[in-house]
Structure 1
Amino acid sequence: MKHLLHIFITVVCIAVVAGCADNSRLRDDIDRAGRLADTCPDSAIALLDSLSPAINQADKATRMRYDLMLIKSRDKAYIEHRNDSMIAPVVEYFTGHSDPDLTPLALYYAGRVYSDLGDAPRALDYYQKAVNSLISNDNDRLRTYIYTQIGDLYYRQGLFEYALNANKKSLDLSYALNDTLFIIDGLKEIAHTYINMNHEDSALICYKKAYELSQSINEEELSGCLLSQYAYLENSLGNKEVADSLIEKALMYDYKTENLKSVLYAITSKIYMQRGKSQQALPYLLWLCDNGSIYAKRNAYRNITLYHIQKMQWHDALKYNNKAFDAVNSIRKIEGAEA
């Protein structure tokens, strides 16, 4: 009997050790997916999906870690959060089991989830909790993300002073990290905020700095996009020759990213339409009709309708007006589904 008891205890110990080893390997794979999400979120999601059969047998700490990295990967892949069913237990677990790395991350992604759900007060509350939970400068990258998101939420609420304060904190951290792309993004956000505060001169300085930095790292597409925004502001201030020069320069770059090309063409066509040069705007509007987002298409259809009205080409004007009407209906359906 005593011999059987020893065998039983030995088997249990082996099972426990094996279980711990399995959880340890799983956590290593989950953490690898979390790191991969920063650069290749689709690959991170695929890796996490491959681990899902083993997750049901894992301990709670491993399951919560898995859910957090899945939320992160989906967020990085621009998959909109539709509910808080996954993040709520993750936050509850990591606030009850404090971890210097994962607790702030869980609070940050709670902010991202509630931001997507349109609950700005709750999102801001979680972002602030995430900042307060950061205890070392090792997390300055996450701290930068948090202040950027806080700035964006305040901006969307029209609270531009608060948005400017948060974006400046994010920019200072980006300079400390010596991350040029983050610095450029920070300068762009601050420029947008300054424009809404009627501080156009300050916005121009930000665009100029951002453009010079993009040139220093040979980011041509980004340079062109920044030049177009710079040009639009100069045009709004009545500096038409400067705006023309900037737009001409922006159009010379080779664009492989359709999103950036769309921004450039939308701004270029808008400048020409504002000046009554619809003929010059037409090639860019036609490109947007074929390649732009549904919102870009709507605006392009409307402007082409105006072009044909000016030319008294009524058949074409009606055709594009109908296209604009269809685009508006599509947008209403999208926004209705999101609501």
Structure 2
Amino acid sequence: MNSDYIPMDTVTFMDEVLRFYDSHGTAEERIRANYMNGCVYRDRGDSPMALEYYLKAVNLADTTEKTCDHELLSRIYGQMAELFHKQRYPQKELEMWNNAIAMARKANDTLMVMQSMMRISGVYWLEGKKGKAAEFSRETYKFCKKMGADSLAARELATTIAYNLEHNNLDDAKREIDEYVSKSRLADKHGNMAEGSEFFYSYLGEYYLKSHNTDSALYYYRKLISYDEDIMNLENGYKGLMEVYGNL
């Protein structure tokens, strides 16, 4: 269920499973059982209990042992990072992503390393360290390109696009926007963004507003607010429209 992204909130037997493995299981089985119990609480929306079981899981691990499942540990740290992200606790989120990267490197899991690195620039941005966010994002972009992951590299450009737009580096922003659209695999041939990536319309709106292309700016800000299930889309869309009309 967990591997197939099926919510586990209806599972009622994990406490019993955990008690069994705590008494009779190997260290790896106890780690996995605590992890699974944490996932059940995660899907129930109980972050404190989920974190408690995730922490129990990683504390059971001896990372110096050759048999240590570093790949699993990287996933657990990633889950904790996600929970701290939802709680807007960037310091702990950053710590967990760094732990996830360290474990993924030991497991030779390059994809997990890249995916974890891609989350760190957003943490710095949330902390208000936008210059550091852009710097780290550029390093992540280079690493993804080196590994041949061109689509992931293109997705990482979102942070530097935002930074360049904020600093009115419009030529750099446009170059990165074009690469994001053409290589991220998040835009179809008509320029429509994939579900969950609609925030990119705000970057397009801002670029066209600052390029004095009012019609295109209005188009993308109006497109953004049509995805009203996300309050951030509404906030960014209406804010953009106010700026457009304020400059008319």
Length-normalised TM-score, structure 1? 0.58
Cα distance change of structure 1 residues 296 and 125 upon mapping to structure 2, 3 Å threshold: closer
Moved more, 123-132 or 143-152: 143-152
Give how far 1:264 is off: 7.3
Residues 139-158 of structure 1 correspond to what in structure 2 (within 5 A)? 139-158=69-88
Aligned mate of 1:108, from 7, 16, 35: 35
For 2:160, the aligned partner's letter is Y
Q: 1:118 aligns with which of 29, 45, 60?
A: 45
The answer for the alignment partner of 2:190 in structure 1 is: none
Q: Relative contact order: is structure 1 or structure 2 higher (C-alpha 8 Å, sep ≥ 6)?
A: 2
Deviation at 1:247, TM superposition (A): 1.2
Unmatched 5+ stretches in structure 1: 1-73, 311-339
1:129 aligns with 2:64: no
Asked whether the equivalents of residues 221 and 237 of structure 2 are also in contact (C-alpha less than 8 Å), the reply is no
1:173 equivalent in alignment to 2:103: yes
Is 1:266 the counterpart of 2:201 in the alignment?
Answer: yes
Partner of 1:134: helix, strand, or coil? coil
Partner of 1:231: 161
Question: For residue 127 of structure 2, what is the aligned residue in structure 1?
Answer: 197
Task: Choose 1 or 2 for highest CA Rg.
Answer: 1
**CA deviation vs aligned residue, 1:222-245 (integer Å, no higher than 9, x gap):** 222211332113323443332222
| CA RMSD after TM alignment | 3.5
Shift of 1:85: 1.0
- 1:255·1:261 contact (CA, 8 Å) conserved in 2? no
1-structure distance, mates of 2:31, 2:51: 14
Change (3 A) 1:216 1:260: farther
What CA distance in whole angstroms lies between the structure 1 residues aligned with 2:228 and 2:26? Answer: 41
* Counterpart code for 2:116: G
For residue 241 of structure 1, what is the amino acid of its counterpart?
D
Contact 1:111 1:127 in 2 (8 A): yes
Consecutive unaligned residues in structure 2, runs of 5 or more: 188-192
Tell me if the contact between 2:42 and 2:50 (Cα under 8 Å) persists in the aligned partners: yes
CA apart distance, 1:127 = 0.7
Return the TM-score normalized by structure 2.
Answer: 0.77
Percent identity between matched residues is 21
Q: Deviations over 1:281-324 (max 9, x none)?
A: 4665687789x794399649956x949x95xxxxxxxxxxxxxx
Given that 2:70 and 2:103 are in contact with CA atoms closer than 8 Å, whether structure 1 keeps it comes out as yes
Distance (whole Å) between structure 2 residues aligned to residue 163 and residue 113 of structure 1: 20
Per residue, is there more helix in 1 or in 2?
1
Aligned pairs, number: 236
1:178 positional shift: 3.2
